[in-house]
Amino acid sequence: VIVAVAGCPNPPLLLPGITGRPVAEVEELRAACLAAVGELLAAAPSRVVVVGGAGPGEHDKPLSVKSGKPLSIESGKPLSVESGKPLSIVIGRQLLREAGCRLPVEHLSVAADAATADCLRAGRELTGRPDATLGLLVMGDGSACRSLKAPGYLDPRAEPFDESVRSCLASGRLAGLAELDAELAAELLVAGRAAWQVLAGAVGESRGQSRLHYSNDPFGVWYPVFSWLPSS
């Protein structure tokens, strides 16, 4: 049974030290993520499952963000990040570490282009497990086409798409995420669609209360941060 959900975006920017010196916009986002993860942990699940999308080839290759020589600001020492896992999972685990999580952590990565039906089924299988009270940390960000300087340039369809996600997250009606158009999401470089649809499958029609901790696009990519607790 799911006792709490937190959702965070997974830009490489959240890897510690990767921005060089701290960047204000990134630190604001990180603080929101840690607040959401904090609510997840406060619900005292017996274990946490990080759910994240995986790009093509992300399962077996080390992360490209490890190349170069990023430094952590405090120690001046090179970063050590997990390699060999999708970026979304690495960042989710990193946020859990930063939030002081001592619970068992598992992860479920889904191909970023997985069919909606497959995502929903994966979510249902997650909750079918009788053994545990689960906290889900769902990694996903929205379109990358929200401005002329955005990674995917400006696409007028980006804002309406992100708004449809935002309204699901903010209202607590997570089942609505099942309706997201996978093809359009791919065109808008949405990295969260598959993971959000796993979430929709896991939660189903359960009602809950949502809190949107962050919703902004400082670099042209929409980053939602939310937490969700089932209604008792």
* Cβ atoms 71, 79 nearer than 8 A: yes
- Separation between Cα atoms, residue 2 and residue 128, nearest integer Å: 10
Smaller CB separation from other proteins, 21 or 102? 21
What is the chain's Cα-based Rg? 16
Q: How far is the CB of 223 from other proteins (least distance, A)?
A: 9
Q: Which stretch binds other proteins (CB under 8 A): 20-28, 33-41, 157-165, 206-214?
A: 20-28
Q: How far is the CB of 21 from other proteins (least distance, A)?
A: 5
Q: How far is the CB of 4 from other proteins (least distance, A)?
A: 28
Smaller CB separation from other proteins, 14 or 137? 14
At which residue do the structure tokens 């992860």 appear?
Answer: 107
Residue 23 touching other proteins (CB under 8 A): yes
Residue 205, token pair as written in the block: 């029609």
- Separation between Cα atoms, residue 54 and residue 61, nearest integer Å: 11
Residue 11 touching other proteins (CB under 8 A): yes
Q: How far is the CB of 83 from other proteins (least distance, A)?
A: 17
Q: Which stretch binds other proteins (CB under 8 A): 6-14, 48-56, 95-103, 125-133?
A: 6-14
> Number of C-alpha atoms within 13 angstroms, CB side, residue 104?
6
Taking CB under 8 A as the criterion, the residue among 2, 18, 119, 185 binding other proteins is: 18
**Shortest CA distance to 216 belongs to which of 162, 135, 156, 136?**
162
DSSP character string of 179-207: G--HHHHHHTT-SSHHHHHHHHHHHTT--
Smaller CB separation from other proteins, 24 or 102? 24
CB neighbours (10 Å) of residue 24?
Answer: 9
In eight-state DSSP terms, residue 145 is -
Site string for other proteins, 67-96 (x = CB under 8 A): --xxx-x-----------------------
Q: How far is the CB of 64 from other proteins (least distance, A)?
A: 10
Which residues from 163-222 bind other proteins, rule CB under 8 A?
A: 219-221
Q: How far is the CB of 217 from other proteins (least distance, A)?
A: 9
- Separation between Cα atoms, residue 51 and residue 13, nearest integer Å: 19
Please state the separation of Cα 30 from the chain's center in Å. Answer: 12
- Separation between Cα atoms, residue 162 and residue 105, nearest integer Å: 29
Which residues from 143-162 bind other proteins, rule CB under 8 A?
A: 144, 151
Smaller CB separation from other proteins, 43 or 71? 71
Residues near other proteins, by CB under 8 A: 11-13, 17-21, 23, 26, 65, 69-71, 73, 144, 151, 219-221
